[in-house]
Chain A
Amino acid sequence: MRVEVAPEKVLVRPQAGTRKKKGLAKRISQKTAVYILLIVVTLVVIIPILWMLTTSLKTEVEASTFPPSFLPAVPQWKNFSDVFTAVPFLTYLFNTVFYTAAVTIGQLICCSLAAFAFARLKFPGRNLLFWIYLATMLIPMAVTIVPSFIEMQAFGWLDTIWAMTIPGMFGSAFGTFLLRQYMLGIPKELDDAAMLDGASPLYVYWKVIMPLCKPALTALAIFTILAVWNDFVWPLVMLQSDSVTTLTLGLANFTAGGSQTFVSTPISMAASTLTVAPLILIFFFAQRYFIKGIALSGMGGR
C-alpha cells in the first residue's frame, strides 16, 4: 500500500510547490501593477488641481516657459492680493455662503417633512404623488431655466438674493427620495410606541425620526452644499450686479475678461484657487461624511 501511495505524493508535492512559488511571484507582480495603475489614475485626477495651485504662485513668465517648472522659484503671494483688489471677492464669498446656507436649511426641512409623510403616514394618492415627484428628476434644467427667468422677472426677483434662495428652498425630489428610503429602514415599532403614548405626527417626526436620520440628513446637506456652491447656470441667468454675484459667476466674469482687463494665467489660477479652496478644505475635514453620504446615495438611501 505504502509503495503505491508514495509515487502519488512525489508527483503532487513538487507541483504544489511550483504552483505556490508561481502564485507568489504572480501576486507580487499583480500588486505592483495595481499600485502603478492607481498612482497613474490618481495623478491624472489630481494634477490639474495641483497645477492650478502651483501656477497661482508663479510669475506670468514662469507660467509660460518651456519646459514648464512645477514649482515657482519665489511664491508670488501677490497674485492672491491682486485678485482681492481686482474684484470684490469677499462679497462673492459672503453671498455664496449665504445662498448655500439658506438653500441647504430649506432643503433639509422641506425634504424631511415630505419624506416623513411618504415613508410614515397613510394618505390617499401617496404612491402616485411620490412617483410623480420622482419623475420630475427627469426634467432637464434646460426646460425650466428660460421660463424661470421670466418668472423671476415677473416677481421682480432678478438680480436679487430672492432669486438665489427662495426657489431652491422648497425641497427636491432627490432629497425627498434619499430621506424617504432612509426612513423606511427605521423600525416602525419606534413611532408606533410614540403614537400609542399620544404623540402627534409632528412630535414623532421631530423627536423620533429626525434624530435617527442624521446620516441621511448629513448626506443631503453635503450634496446640497456642493450643488449650490458650485452652481453656475442659475446665477449666470439670474444675476448681474457684483453685490449679489456668487464665487463661480465672479470667477467666470473675472477670468473671461468680463472685467474689461486682460487677466494673466497665474492670477486666474489664484482666483480659481480662492473659489474652490473653501469647499476643498471643508471636504478634507469632513471627508468621512462625504464618503458615507455618497455611499448612502448610491444605495438609494439605505
Chain B
Amino acid sequence: MAAITPQEAKRGRFWQQKSTKRTVAAYLFIAPSFIGVLVFLAFPVFFALYMSLQHWDGITTPSFIGLGNFVSLFQDHIFWITLRNTLIYSVVTVPIGTLFSLGVAQLLNQRVIGLKFFRTAMLVPVVTSALAVAVIWKWIYDYNNGLINDGLSIFHIAPLPWLSDPMWALIAVCILGVWMGFGLNTILLLAAIQNVPDTLMEAARIDGATGWRRFWRIVVPLISPTVLLVTVTSFTASFQVFTTVYYLTNGGPDYGTSMLTLLVYQRAFAQNRFGEAAALSYIMFAIIFLVTLIQMRVSRKTVNAASEFES
C-alpha cells in the first residue's frame, strides 16, 4: 500500500475525525428545529398540562385544584354535547370523504379526456382558505336567498333551516367538511392509483377479473398506505375542525355544532376559564392519540409491506 500523502490525510479530515466531533456537527444541524420544538411546542404542551391542573382565569394567580377541571368538564353537559358533535362530524366526514375521493380518483384514472381540467377544478378548494370557504358557504346555506334553498324551491321543496336548526346545522357543517377535504384526498389517491403497475391490472383483466373486483382486490390493497395516510390525516383534521364552525355557526344554534377546538377557544378567550380549556385540550389529545394508534394497529394487518412510515 502506498503511503498516504499529507494532502490526502488532510482531505477527508472531517469524516475521519473522532465521532464526538461528528456528533456535535449533527446536533448543530438539528439545533434550529430542536430549539423551535423546545420553545414553541414543548413549553406550550407542558404549560398546558400545568394549566389543566390549575384554577386560573388568566389574570390572577393560578391555584392548584388537581383534576378539578376534568371533573367539572365531565359534569358539564356542554362538554358531552360537544364531544358527541365532534365524534359525529369525524365519523361522518372521514369515511364518506375517503370513499368519495377513492371513487372519483378511480374515475379519473380511466384514461379520461380532460383529466387536467378535472384535476385543476378539484384542487381549487384546496388552495382556498377555510375562512373564505366559510364566508361563501354561509351564504350558500342562507335560508332566504341561499343557493341550496333556491335550488330546492325549484323542485317545490320547502327551504331547509340549514344554519338555524341544531340538527341541520350539524349536517351543513358535515357537508362542508366533506367538500373541503375532497380535492386534496382525491389527488393524493389518484397519484397512488397511477403508480399501480399496468402489468398487474392487465394480468387481472386477462384472468377475467371485473373492473369492480380489480379495484377492490388489486388497486385498493396496493394503495393502502395512501388510504391509511388519508384516513389518519382526515381524522386528525376533522377532529380539530375550527375555522368553518367558528364562522358559520360559532357552535350554535343551541350548541348543535359546538366542536372541541371551538370550545377550547371559547373557554379560554371568551370565558377566561384557562384551566378548563387546557384540560379539554388534553382530553382531545388523548382521543386523537388513541384513535391514531388504533388506526395504525388495525392497518398493520391490512396495509401492504410498503408502509408509509417505514424508515
With A117-B29, A171-B36: A146-B278 Cβ-Cβ less than 8 Å: yes
Chain B proximity mask over A136-172: 1 for CB below 8 Å, otherwise 0: 1011111111111111000000000000000101110
- B71 interface residue, CB < 8 Å from A? no
- B128 interface residue, CB < 8 Å from A? yes
Q: Is the interface of A mostly helix, strand, loop or mixed?
A: helix
* A65 CB, nearest partner CB in chain B, Å: 8
Size of B's binding interface in residues, CB under 8 A: 103
> In the complex the two chains form, is A66's CB within 8 Å of B30's CB?
no
- A220 interface residue, CB < 8 Å from B? no
* A198 CB, nearest partner CB in chain B, Å: 4
- B125 interface residue, CB < 8 Å from A? yes
With A67-B150, A255-B135, A280-B128: A142-B33 Cβ-Cβ less than 8 Å: no
> In the complex the two chains form, is A197's CB within 8 Å of B281's CB?
no
Q: Complex Cα distance A62/B202, Å?
A: 55
Chain B proximity mask over A218-260: 1 for CB below 8 Å, otherwise 0: 0000000010011011001100000000011001100110000
> In the complex the two chains form, is B188's CB within 8 Å of A45's CB?
no
> In the complex the two chains form, is A141's CB within 8 Å of B240's CB?
yes
Of residues 1 to 32 in B, which have CB atoms within 8 Å of A's CB atoms? 10-15, 19, 22-23, 25-27, 29-30, 32
* B29 CB, nearest partner CB in chain A, Å: 4
List residues of B whose CB falls within 8 A of some A CB. Answer: 10-15, 19, 22-23, 25-27, 29-30, 32-37, 39-41, 43-45, 47-48, 51, 58, 104, 107-108, 110, 112, 117-133, 135-137, 139-140, 144-145, 147, 150, 153-154, 179, 182-184, 187-189, 191-192, 195, 225-226, 229, 236, 239-240, 242-243, 246-247, 260-261, 264-265, 268-269, 274, 277-278, 280-282, 284-285, 288-289, 292, 308-309, 311
Interface range on chain A (Cβ under 8 Å from partner)? 35 or more
> In the complex the two chains form, is B124's CB within 8 Å of A45's CB?
yes
Chain B proximity mask over A94-128: 1 for CB below 8 Å, otherwise 0: 00000000000000011101101110011110110
Partner of A139, one of B27, B110, B261, B285: B285
Partner of A122, one of B26, B189, B191: B26
